[in-house]
């Protein structure tokens, strides 16, 4: 935006409270937004829509963020298969991934002196004492996301190597922070991977990334289709509104990586210090919380929501629900047994040689 002579307006506050003055100040005649699928997010959209309606302004919705356009799926939202394997089979067979739009060469901006400032961490409720390491590899913005893609696909990089690692470190493209915040479009990632496949041949890591993009779409479409009914748990809403009591001491041990389980502790410490752990790590710590500590999964999902740098409502709550057996696509019973889960993921415990 700055290169095109404008900027992004940054305001602190609630959208439904700020939008009225914005519309008046900048004489806005139409408001466009990307529709989200989580209940809290859609509720905010509804409040903004109400406020705008009073000013006789229409809020125009777009459903974005996904690899496949809703219109390009081989079924209407209400008929999307609830089982991921069926969604995958039919979508890959009958739907197309569209090309990316070109970036606009020019945009007309309103005259504005003050574009606002990014808030300091303290304004977002973090104390400077919080142990948040600044991860230079995870800088926001599309430019940084594209640099990450370029590194990922550079000849000789990890993505071309067959990793038979049995350590906690599995191949992870680490694309989710940019995808979650809309800095990178899933379509762009898809077509860049396809181009690399053409040039260097298909491999397991490319397939993992493309499968991940499909999972991402699946969870978003599931929430679009079912809303909160995605959670097949009697009493889910009352659990969220007035949660069952939790053993705070045990919960704190899990959060701080002090459970005594070496793998769980390693991943939880990584989560707190970097805001990111790979998929295997998320499965392990979630399985441990739910099936070993027997703590309700919503506590884990809420903690991930607070800590993850790639937090995304549908992916986070959808994956947690599946680990807990409260989702719609129930996996094998291995999901509920930590030791079997570790075996399936082919990880050796740290410090234990097998
Ligand atoms: C308990 C739990 C909570 C999770 N919470 C989130 C979350 O808040 N945000 C989030 O983006 N992912 C979440 N995931 C999914 C997944 O773990 C991360 O997307 C992945 O680890 C990101 O690493 P990557 O970019 O290297 O993934 P890759 O394997 O390289 O996959 C490429 C992309 O596909 C998407 N993706 C991959 N796997 C999944 C999946 N199972 N579900 C949805 N999308 C997927 C991500 O956008 C990812 O960047 C969660 C998984 C679990 C088990």
**The predicted structure's pLDDT at residue 185:** 96
Domain boundary among 210, 226, 242: 226
d(CA 42, CA 15): 12
Nearest CA to ligand 1 atom 6: 316
Q: Which residues pair with 31 in a beta bridge?
A: 59
- Pick the closest to residue 115 from 9, 26, 202 (CA basis): 9
Asked if 230 and 326 touch (Cβ cutoff 8 Å), the reply is: no
CA of 137 to the centre of ligand 1 (A): 18
Asked if 267 and 168 touch (Cβ cutoff 8 Å), the reply is: yes
**Domain membership flag for residue 126:** no
d(CA 37, CA 224): 6
**Domain membership flag for residue 181:** yes
Asked if 348 and 263 touch (Cβ cutoff 8 Å), the reply is: no
**Domain membership flag for residue 115:** no
- Are residues 217 and 194 part of one domain? yes
- What is the SS3 string spanning 187-214? HHHHHHHHHHHHHHCCCHHHHHHHHHHH
CA of 120 to the centre of ligand 1 (A): 27
The HSE-up count of residue 300 (CA atoms within 13 Å, CB side) is 29
Mutational pocket test of ligand 1: of 174, 319, 328, the residue with most ligand atoms within 8 Å of the beta carbon: 319
Domain boundary among 172, 198, 226: 226
- Are residues 72 and 22 part of one domain? no
Cβ count within 10 A of residue 237: 12
- Are residues 88 and 32 part of one domain? no
Ligand 1 atom nearest to CA at 171:
26
CATH number for the domain harbouring residue 274: 1.10.579.10
- Are residues 47 and 85 part of one domain? no
Q: Which residues of the chain have pLDDT under 50?
A: 353-354
d(CA 273, CA 133): 6
**Domain membership flag for residue 350:** no
**The predicted structure's pLDDT at residue 240:** 72
- Are residues 322 and 206 part of one domain? no
What residues are in contact with ligand 1 under a 6 Å CB criterion? 172-176, 179-180, 208-209, 212-213, 215-216, 219, 278-279, 282-283, 286, 304, 308, 310-312, 315-316, 319-320, 323
DSSP SS3 for 150: helix
**Domain membership flag for residue 215:** yes
- Are residues 58 and 33 part of one domain? yes
The range of the structural domain enclosing residue 57 comes to 1-63
- Are residues 306 and 194 part of one domain? no
Asked if 337 and 291 touch (Cβ cutoff 8 Å), the reply is: yes
- Are residues 252 and 197 part of one domain? no
CA of 176 to the centre of ligand 1 (A): 6
Q: What is the DSSP track for 25-94?
A: HTT--EEEEEEP-SHHHHHHHHHHHHHHHHTT-EEEEEE-SSSS-GGGSSS-GGG--SSHHHHHHHHHHH
**The predicted structure's pLDDT at residue 131:** 53
CA of 315 to the centre of ligand 1 (A): 7
CATH number for the domain harbouring residue 175: 1.25.40.80
User: Which tokens sit at 269?
Assistant: 């410490």
**The predicted structure's pLDDT at residue 353:** 44
Nearest CA to ligand 1 atom 51: 319
CA of 243 to the centre of ligand 1 (A): 26
**The predicted structure's pLDDT at residue 10:** 94
The span from the first CA to the last CA of the chain, in angstroms, equals: 54
Mutational pocket test of ligand 1: of 158, 159, 172, 176, the residue with most ligand atoms within 8 Å of the beta carbon: 176
**Domain membership flag for residue 22:** yes
**Domain membership flag for residue 157:** yes
- Are residues 72 and 218 part of one domain? yes
- Are residues 204 and 74 part of one domain? yes
CA of 215 to the centre of ligand 1 (A): 8
Q: Where are the beta strands (DSSP E) in the chain?
A: 30-35, 58-63
**The predicted structure's pLDDT at residue 354:** 39
User: Which tokens sit at 304?
Assistant: 């991930």
- Are residues 221 and 238 part of one domain? no
Contacts of 199 (CB under 8 A, 6+ apart): none
d(CA 72, CA 91): 9
CATH number for the domain harbouring residue 28: 3.40.50.620
> From the centroid of its chain, how far is CA 278?
12
Domain boundary among 226, 254, 279: 226
Cβ count within 10 A of residue 245: 6
CA of 310 to the centre of ligand 1 (A): 8
- Are residues 81 and 221 part of one domain? yes
**The predicted structure's pLDDT at residue 164:** 65
- Pick the closest to residue 178 from 327, 73, 311 (CA basis): 311
Contacts of 114 (CB under 8 A, 6+ apart): none
Tell me how many domains the chain contains. Answer: 3
CA of 166 to the centre of ligand 1 (A): 20
d(CA 271, CA 274): 5
Cβ count within 10 A of residue 213: 20
**The predicted structure's pLDDT at residue 165:** 65
**Domain membership flag for residue 349:** no
**The predicted structure's pLDDT at residue 332:** 54
Cβ count within 10 A of residue 23: 18
């Amino acid at each position: 935006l700055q290169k095109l002579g404008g900027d992004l307006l940054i305001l602190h506050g609630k959208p439904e409270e700020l939008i009225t003055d914005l519309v008046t100040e900048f004489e806005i005649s139409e408001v466009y937004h990307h529709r989200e699928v989580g209940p809290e997010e859609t509720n905010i959209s509804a409040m903004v829509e109400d406020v705008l309606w009073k000013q006789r302004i229409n809020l125009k919705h777009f459903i974005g963020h996904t690899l496949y356009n809703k219109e390009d799926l081989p079924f209407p939202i209400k008929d999307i298969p609830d089982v991921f394997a069926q969604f995958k089979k039919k979508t890959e067979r009958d739907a197309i991934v569209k090309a990316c739009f070109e970036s606009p060469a020019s945009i007309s901006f309103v005259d504005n002196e003050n574009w606002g400032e990014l808030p300091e961490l303290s304004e977002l409720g973090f104390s400077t004492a919080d142990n948040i390491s600044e991860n230079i590899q995870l800088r926001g913005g599309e430019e940084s996301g594209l640099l990450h893609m370029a590194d990922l696909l550079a000849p000789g990089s990890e993505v071309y190597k067959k990793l038979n690692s049995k350590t906690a470190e599995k191949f992870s493209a680490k694309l989710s922070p940019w995808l979650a915040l809309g800095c990178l479009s899933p379509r762009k990632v898809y077509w860049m991977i396809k181009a690399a496949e053409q040039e260097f041949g298909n491999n397991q890591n490319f397939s993992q990334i493309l499968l991940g993009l499909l999972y991402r779409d699946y969870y978003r479409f599931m929430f679009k289709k079912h809303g909160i009914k995605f959670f097949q748990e009697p009493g889910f809403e009352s659990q969220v509104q007035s949660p069952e009591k939790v053993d705070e001491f045990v919960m704190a041990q899990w959060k701080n990586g002090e459970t005594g389980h070496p793998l769980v502790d390693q991943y939880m410490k990584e989560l707190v210090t970097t805001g990111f752990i790979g998929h295997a790590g998320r499965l392990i710590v979630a399985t441990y919380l739910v099936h070993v500590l027997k703590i309700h999964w919503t506590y884990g999902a809420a903690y991930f929501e607070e800590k993850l740098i790639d937090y995304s409502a549908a992916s986070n709550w959808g994956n947690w629900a599946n680990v807990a057996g409260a989702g719609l696509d129930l996996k094998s019973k291995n999901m509920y047994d930590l030791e079997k889960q570790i075996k399936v993921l082919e990880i050796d415990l740290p410090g234990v040689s097998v």
